[in-house]
């Protein structure tokens, strides 16, 4: 049973970089067929996909956030990380990590998800 | 801004059947990309409910069913139960936006 757990600061100052880590347990992080993803949810709002990384290090980002996002992986620790630079109050959200299942058609889905962590951007 | 549109809310009495629509366009659902559905109970993370338009993961009751036609998809909940009160989101891929997209979300209320 694969489980994911987010960790990182809950408060970030405007213009700084948000950094979160997702630790994967209970499964093979380096097995093919899965993408390791970040998704966020603004308070009281819907879901927004941020990007993903393959265990090999290949990344794919939401074009609307691409200029500020970096996702990296540490296979030795079964972890992947998110960095979002130049944050503003608009980046305040619950951030989830999730495993994406790759399909040949690109119709990928996300399961399971971490419990989520609230990050507030405020001075 | 979500490119998949859902009704903000639906409601029904216990035991009734409710449906949630997810309307997309020719660059996502209409382009042939599958639709997936998630259930988000209050204060918790989303949970996969339906994948590949109509498939249920292990452990999901068969009261939940999904379908897709043209540029839209639907989630049906039959035999509505109090524990089904939650927010529901559809998800697909959009080729114009080059990314995964989620629906606007629907709150299901059990009367």
Residue A37: closest C-alpha in chain B: B100
Share of chain A above pLDDT 70, in %: 100
CA distance B64 to B56: 8
pLDDT at B1 over 70: no
pLDDT at residue A33, rounded to an integer: 83
Q: How many Å lie between the alpha carbon of A60 and the closest alpha carbon of chain B?
A: 9
Task: Render pLDDT for A41-52 as a digit per residue (tens, 0 to 9).
Answer: 999 999 999 999
- Neighbouring residues of B62: CB distance < 8 A, sequence distance ≥ 6: B56
Contact B93 A47 (CB under 8 A): no
Q: Strand, helix or coil at A72?
A: strand
Mean pLDDT of B12-41: 97
CB contact under 8 A, A111 and B89: no
**How would you label A54-92 residue by residue, b for 16+ Cβ within 10 Å and e otherwise?**
bbeeebbbbeebeebbbbebeeeebbbbbebeebeeebb
Among B2, B45, B55, the residue to mutate for chain A (most A Cβ within 10 A): B45
A40 touches A65 (CB < 8 A): no
pLDDT above 80 (res A31): no
pLDDT class of A120 with cuts at 50, 70, 90? very high
Tally of residues, chain A: 123
Q: What is the mean pLDDT of residues A89-118?
A: 94
Proportion of chain A in helix, strand, coil states, percent, rounded to 5 = 5, 50, 40
Q: In degrees, to the nearest 5, what angle opens at C-alpha B59 toward C-alphas B45 and B41?
A: 25
> Would you state the pLDDT for residue A105?
80
Q: What is the pLDDT of residue A102?
A: 84
Per-residue pLDDT averaged across B36-40, rounded? 98
In sequence order, the 6+-apart residues with CB closer than 8 A to the CB of B88 are B6, B20, B37, B38, B39, B40, B49, B75, B105, B106, B107, B108
Q: Which residues of chain B make contact with A105, given a CB cutoff of 8 A?
A: 32-34
Beta strands A117-121 and A11-12: pairing type?
parallel
Q: How far is A1 from chain B (nearest CA, A)?
A: 12
Q: What is the pLDDT of residues A48-65, one digit of tens each?
A: 999 999 988 899 999 999
Residues of chain B in contact with residue A62, where contact means CB-CB under 8 angstroms, are 99
B42 CA to centre of own chain = 16
The pair of three-digit structure tokens given for residue B100, joined into one six-digit string: 């995964």
Q: What is the pLDDT of residues A80-103, one digit of tens each?
A: 999 999 999 999 999 999 999 988
Mean pLDDT, chain B, integer: 96
Q: Is residue A11 pLDDT above 90, yes or no? A: yes
Residue A21 CA, chain-centre distance (Å), reads 8
Distance from CA of A108 to the nearest CA of B (A): 8
Amino acid B19: pLDDT: 98
Chain B interface with A: residues with Cβ < 8 Å: 2, 32-34, 36, 38, 44-48, 51-52, 57, 89, 91-93, 97-105
Question: Phi, psi at residue A22, to the nearest 5°?
Answer: -120, 125
Give me the percent of chain A exceeding a pLDDT of 90. Answer: 81
């Amino acid at each position: 049973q694969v489980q994911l757990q987010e960790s990182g600061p809950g408060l970030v100052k405007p213009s700084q970089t948000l950094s979160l880590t997702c630790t994967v347990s209970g499964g093979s992080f380096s097995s093919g067929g899965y993408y390791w993803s970040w998704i966020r949810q603004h308070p009281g709002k819907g879901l927004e996909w941020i990007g993903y990384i393959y265990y090999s290090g290949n990344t794919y980002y939401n074009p609307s956030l691409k200029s500020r996002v970096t996702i990296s992986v540490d296979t030795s620790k079964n972890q992947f990380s998110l960095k979002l630079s130049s944050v503003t109050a608009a980046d305040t959200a619950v951030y989830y990590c999730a495993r994406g299942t790759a399909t040949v058609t690109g119709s990928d889905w996300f399961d399971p998800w971490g419990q989520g962590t609230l990050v507030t951007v405020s001075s | 801004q979500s490119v998949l549109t859902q009704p903000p809310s639906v409601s029904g009495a216990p035991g009734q059947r409710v449906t949630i629509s997810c309307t997309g366009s020719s660059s996502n659902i209409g382009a042939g990309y599958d639709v997936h559905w998630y259930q988000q109970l209050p204060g918790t993370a989303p949970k996969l409910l339906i994948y590949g338009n109509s498939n249920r993961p292990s452990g999901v009751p068969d009261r939940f069913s999904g379908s897709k036609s043209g540029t839209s998809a639907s989630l049906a909940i039959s035999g509505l139960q109090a524990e089904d009160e939650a927010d529901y989101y559809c998800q697909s891929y959009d080729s114009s936006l080059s990314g995964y997209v989620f629906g606007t979300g629907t709150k299901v209320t059990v009367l």
